Amino acid sequence: MATDTTVAAGVDAGGIPDPHVGRGVWWRRPGLFYGVIGAVIGYAIGTWLGTWLAEDNQQVQGLGHNDFAVTLGYLVATIGWLAGMGALTYPLQKMAGLQPHVEHEEERTLGRYFRYTLDHKVVGVQYLVAMIAYFLVGGLFALAIRTELLSPTAHLFQPGTYLEIVGTHGTMMMMMMTSAIIGPFGNYFVPLMIGARRMAFPRLEALSFWITPAAFLVLLSGILIGGFPSGWTGYAPLSVEATQGMDAYLVAFGLMSISMIVGGFNIVVTVINHRAPGMTWTRLPLFVWGMLVTGMLMVLAAPVLTLSCYLTLLDRTVQTSLFNVQQGGSPYLWENLFWFFGHPEVYILALPGFGIAGELLPVFTRKPAFGYKTTVAGIVGVGLLSFFVWQHHLFDSGINADMRPMVMLTTEMISIPTGFIFLALIGNLWRAKIRLTVPMLFVIGGMLNFLIGGVSGVFLSDVPTDTVAHGSFFVMSHFHYTIMGGYIFFFFAGLYYWLPKMTGRMLDTRLGKVHFWSLFVFFNSTFLPLFAIGELGMPRRVFEYADSLQALNVWVSISAYLIGVSMLVFVYNFLKSTVIDDKRPLPENPWGSRGLEWLTSTPPAADNFVRVPTVVSGPYEYGTGAGPMAVMSSPGYPRVPEGVS
């Protein structure tokens, strides 16, 4: 963004060059190095402060644990980390009345990936690598769980350790992975797809990313201080009586909720305001619709999670009694607040996937999007309804039993907008030119998996059948079908589809097909039997099960290991294409897509477009004779078009 265009020379704009961009010696500007130093100093200060505040507290002395010290240590360490990364520079400059310039400079060094950068494309790549790393770490915990489940009694881990692993796996996947699509692809491609040269709030996108490593490390460090026994749902009062590891969960989840709020906020504001001229709401790509609604869900649901984590920390530190039934509190308070966030969260993990499916299908069927408006209605409808169904997690809890038919209705109603989205899928395939490329395989596989996830969800929405399934492996299998089978498959679809745009390099197609087929087969062979295991009476999160279920469990464990092998194929493919192989020339648009993101250079320049494009037709006008989606250069569009204000 050029800033020197309108302010006449000699007028002091009170501006200063932004310290985050431009060249400089690495130790003279904020970055990873100072982030780590800041975190260490912050941890020391926080721990000292917590000790000083609370060491005389009788409760703390009785516990032998100072939750104040742990919590403050984590929080101040995070602040120190962000300060060291440079996140606080801008707010402090604002306090001094300065207005930093954003001057994008072509800086193509590796170092920018380790800095608090204002380029949404760099943030997208940072997110991509980080999300893959978090996913693989969470996956390793899953393999540990399956290893323990090889036999019906404890044989490898002690019961408490097993719960730590289960909780860490669940929390890692459910909280870190919330941004697996909106983080990399949302940040990278939303501005490109709407014809914007930047995000609305570039510092917020960097903030949303740089919180995630802090949350990740805080969560993992929980293992070192005893882990947390409560699974990813963290039900009180179990969470209140747990040891210090619980503080790690609460702080990490709280941080991640802030990251979600900040990231979603930025996306929503960007889509509303930064669309290029001509990018009307009916021309908005379906992926952007998915991102918009996901961002909205994050912005509106995640604050409740922040509050819940904060409330539990209060119960554990200053001894409020919000969840203590003997002192006027109630464990139901957590269940309600948590699931009020938790159910939209489930759709935060589903809608981005639908967005990718809707985006990719027209490209690989060479047809206009089938039922574009129906799909949008589906996405928006799912997002809206998701706020009204949370009590179906509490069917058996003994709360508001009179409400159950209504919640049953709202829950089952979700299948109507979800049906819209499926309608679009099958409509797109009608008489199409279907190319089964690797991204398309992942889209179809994801849809097939999600279908099973969705149908099993109906069993959970119906109170009588939920009685059997609730809290069992059935539920666990159900949401793995929607999240792992749907969301992660769509994530891979997006990755195979867009990586050429992000890096200029294709992933290997043959390895990609091996990856897809092995993942699809072993995924199903892992999670289909788990429906049966759940229905036959095995609760979630236990390793003690009936001897008669051992054969099935062993089958599942072996399949799970094979999923791990499939992931290794992917990791090899990913590293080979991005890091090891030399750069190969790539067709600018390897899939023949009409999308706006493919009309700019590969990889895109720092400001995406030399001139903000003018959109003249929709993104999916295959076979309709429409010209390119946008006019990219100046001739013919010399003035600010009508309607821009």
Partner 1 sequence: MAKSGRIAAVLVALAAVVAVAAGVVVYLVAYPPTASASPVGSASAEVTMQTVPAYNQDPEPTWVSYMIKQGDSWVHTTMFQVPAHSLVHFTVYQFDTGSPLRNPFMNQTANLVGGAENVNGKDVSLIDANVGDGVGHSFAIPALGVSAIFPGVSGDSTNQCDVAAPCPMTFDHNTITFTIQTGDPGSYAWQCFVPCALGYPIGFGGPMSTLGYMNGFMEVVA
Partner 2 sequence: MADAMVGAQMDEPLDDAAYNDAIERAASRGSYWSGSRLFVALSAMMFAGGAFAFFYLHSLDSSGMWRTDGQAPPDYVSVPVLVLTLGGAALFWGYTRRLLRGSAVTTDWLVATGVSAGAFLVAAIIQFVGMLNTGFFPGSTGYASVYVAIMPVFAVYCLGTAYWLETLFARVLRVRWVVSDEMPARDSMERTMFLGSAVGAKAFVVFVALVSLILFLLFSVLS
Partner 3 sequence: MADTKASEESKELTDRDHLRRIGLIWLVLTLVCVPLVIFVLGPHLPPGTDSEQARNQQEDNTVLAAVATPVLLFIWVYIGYAVKNWRIPADTPVEELQDGPPIRGHRGFQTAWIVITSVTVFALFVFGTQELWTDYGSGTGSGSSPVWTPAGYSTNAKDSKLLVVQVIGQQWRWTYRFPQYGGVETDTLVIPAGKTVQFDVTSLDVIHSFWAINLGVKADANPGNNNIAFVEDPSVGPVDIRCAELCGTYHGAMAQTGQVEKQADFDAWIAGQIVLHYDLLPQLPAYADFYIPQTDGGYYDPSQVTPPAVDSGLPPPPPAPAPSSAAPSPAPSSS
C-alpha to C-alpha distance for 123 and 133, rounded to whole angstroms:
15
# of chain residues touching partner 2 (CB under 8 A): 74
Tokens 């947390």 belong to residue:
228
Helix (H/G/I), strand (E/B), else coil: 630: strand
Chain positions 290 to 349 lying near partner 3, rule: CB under 8 A, are: 325-327, 330-332
Q: Tell me, by CB under 8 A, how many residues bind partner 3.
A: 99
Supply the minimum distance, in Å, between the C-beta of residue 625 and partner 3: 8
Residue 535 neighbours by CB distance under 10 Å: 16
For 568-623, give the DSSP string.
HHHHHHHHIIIIISPP----SSTT----GGGSS-SSPPTTS-SS--EE-S-TT-TT
Which residue of 10, 62, 625, 635 would you call a contact of partner 1, by CB under 8 A?
62
Give the C-alpha separation, 412 to 275, whole Å: 35
Closest CB to partner 1 among 10 and 62? 62
CB of 41 or CB of 300, closer to partner 2:
300
Cα distance between residue 478 and residue 157, in whole Å: 26
The Cα 27–Cα 45 span in angstroms is 23
Token pair in block for residue 593: 């897509």
Considering only residues 62-101, where is the footprint of partner 2 by CB under 8 A?
91, 94-99
Q: Which of residues 393-412 bind partner 3 (CB under 8 A)?
A: 395-402, 404-405, 408-409, 412
Told to check if 561 binds partner 1 by CB under 8 A, we report no
Q: Which stretch binds partner 3 (CB under 8 A): 79-87, 133-141, 182-190, 434-442?
A: 434-442
How long, in residues, is the chain? 645
Q: Binder to partner 3 among 114, 201, 387, 459 (CB under 8 A)?
A: 459
According to DSSP, residue 472 is labeled B
Does the protein bind partner 1 through residue 157 (CB under 8 A)? yes
Stretch that binds partner 1, among 234-242, 346-354, 507-515, 619-627 (CB under 8 A): 234-242
| Interaction mask 275-294, partner 2, x per CB under 8 A | -xx-----------------
Site map 184..203 versus partner 2, x via CB under 8 A: ------------xxx-xx--
The C-alpha atoms of residue 638 and residue 334 are separated, in whole angstroms, by 57
CB of 555 to partner 1, least distance (A): 23
CA distances from 561 to 147, 224, 491, 557, 568 (A): 9, 26, 21, 6, 11
Does 314 sit near partner 2 (CB under 8 A)? yes
**Phi, psi (degrees; rounded to nearest 5) at 62:** -65, -45
For residue 296, give both structure tokens.
């909205």
State the DSSP string of 147-206. HHTTSSS-SSS-HHHHHHHHHHHHHIIIIIGGGTTIIIIIHHHHHHHHT-SS-SSHHHHH
Q: By CB under 8 A, is residue 481 in contact with partner 3?
A: no
Q: Which is nearer to partner 1, 155 or 611 (CB)?
A: 155
366 binds partner 3 (CB under 8 A): yes
- Binding mask 505-544 toward partner 3 (x if CB under 8 A, else -) reads ----x-------------------------xxx-xxxxxx
Which residues of the shown chain bind partner 1 in the complex (CB under 8 A)? 58-65, 140, 144, 153-154, 156-161, 164-165, 223, 226, 229, 237, 240-243, 315, 324, 575, 579-582
